[in-house]
């Protein structure tokens, strides 16, 4: 075989190999779903409008007070908030209950203390310095009361879950009937916002289950929105302070830039006048 024949044969083999790779790659790409293809099990979470949104947002004290009421009347039956004390409810930047109201809210709860002089544990009304009482004495009791599922502590859930308050709101309002062809396991509930769309917690809120004292409509939307804001405050109690600090820093930078700009113009104006004098 001549040299040119061998080159031609080599080129034909290489071309055939490239063609085979291209065809197999095309077939693989056709069979493999693309990353942009929507998944049937993706959580549905929409961004909401919040008064505390950055960069300069602040908490609505009335909304936080309503959110605490939702937590106290409904959520606290299963979920703890071990990182909060009752006194936090009266601190600036939060619900800002009056000292008397904080003492009253704490006093409605019985906490365990002791031992006393007899070596026995006893119950007493909670004080503002006490941490929120947990609904269950230990993890095993919590699991036994909830079909084996452990209700998470809600102290920082708004920071621990992607989406924060948007996720909490979507979860609380996302209970609906499962679509055709979707099998929900026994003891589970369909929820559009929960990963996998199956959650052990039954719908905790519905219209009219809590009576607001300020005249706010007793709707699921308001309950979910208020408790989501409250849980965001619990996870970020210094949010307003951070926003105010950021605003001061931005104001300082704007003023500093203006001063530096005027100083630069003054210095260069003198240099230009000096050069003009020497050239003339």
Please report where in the chains the tokens 């009219």 appear, as a residue: 208
Residue extents of the structural domains in the chain? 61-84+132-237, 244-272
Q: Could you read off the pLDDT of 188-226 as tens digits, one per residue?
A: 999 999 999 999 999 999 999 999 999 999 999 999 999
The pLDDT assigned to 118 comes to 87
The pLDDT assigned to 242 comes to 84
Low-confidence ranges of the chain (pLDDT < 70): 1-40, 274-276, 278-280
Both tokens of residue 250?
């931005």
Fold of the CATH domain 61-84+132-237: Cytochrome Bc1 Complex; Chain D, domain 2 (1.10.760)
The pLDDT assigned to 144 comes to 94
**Spatial separation of the C-alpha atoms in residues 14 and 21, rounded to whole Å:** 11
Q: Could you read off the pLDDT of 31-43 as tens digits, one per residue?
A: 433 333 344 578 8
* Contact call for residues 176 and 190 (beta carbons, < 8 A): yes
* Contact call for residues 71 and 196 (beta carbons, < 8 A): no
Neighbours of 244 (CB within 10 A): 14
Please report where in the chains the tokens 């959110």 appear, as a residue: 67
Nearest to 68 by CA among 82, 51, 50, 81: 81
The pLDDT assigned to 22 comes to 39
Nearest to 45 by CA among 157, 192, 224, 221: 192
* Cα atoms in the Cβ-side hemisphere of radius 13 Å centred on 169: 19
The pLDDT assigned to 278 comes to 67
The pLDDT assigned to 265 comes to 86
pTM for the model stands at: 0.77
The pLDDT assigned to 280 comes to 61
Dihedral sign (CA 66, 129, 154, 156): positive
The pLDDT assigned to 204 comes to 97
The pLDDT assigned to 40 comes to 59
* Contact call for residues 131 and 84 (beta carbons, < 8 A): yes
Both tokens of residue 273?
């006048």
* Contact call for residues 65 and 97 (beta carbons, < 8 A): yes
The pLDDT assigned to 21 comes to 32
- DSSP 8-state code for residue 133: P
**Spatial separation of the C-alpha atoms in residues 188 and 197, rounded to whole Å:** 9
């Amino acid at each position: 075989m001549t040299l040119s024949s061998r080159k031609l044969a080599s080129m034909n083999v290489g071309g055939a190999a490239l063609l085979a790779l291209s065809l197999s790659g095309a077939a693989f790409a056709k069979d493999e779903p693309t990353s942009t293809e929507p998944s049937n099990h993706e959580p549905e979470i929409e961004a909401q409008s919040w008064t505390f949104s950055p960069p300069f947002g602040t908490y609505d004290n009335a909304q936080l007070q309503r959110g605490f009421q939702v937590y106290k009347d409904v959520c606290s039956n299963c979920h703890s908030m071990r990182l909060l004390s009752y006194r936090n409810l009266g601190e600036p930047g939060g619900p800002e209950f009056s000292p008397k109201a904080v003492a009253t809210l704490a006093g409605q709860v019985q906490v365990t203390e002791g031992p006393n002089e007899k070596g026995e544990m006893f119950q007493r009304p909670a004080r503002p310095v006490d941490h929120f009482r947990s609904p269950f004495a230990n993890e095993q009791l919590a699991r036994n009361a909830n079909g084996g599922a452990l209700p998470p502590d809600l102290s920082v859930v708004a920071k621990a879950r992607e989406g924060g308050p948007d996720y909490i709101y979507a979860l609380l309002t996302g209970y609906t009937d499962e679509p055709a062809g979707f099998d929900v396991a026994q003891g589970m509930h369909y929820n559009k916002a929960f990963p996998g769309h199956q959650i052990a917690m039954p719908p905790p809120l519905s219209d009219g289950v809590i009576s607001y004292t300020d005249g706010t409509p007793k709707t699921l939307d308001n309950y979910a929105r208020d408790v989501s804001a409250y849980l965001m405050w619990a996870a970020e109690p210094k949010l307003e302070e951070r926003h105010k600090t950021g605003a001061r820093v931005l104001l300082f930078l704007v003023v500093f830039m203006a001063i530096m700009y005027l100083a630069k113009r003054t210095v260069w104006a003198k240099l230009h006048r000096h050069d003009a004098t020497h050239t003339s």
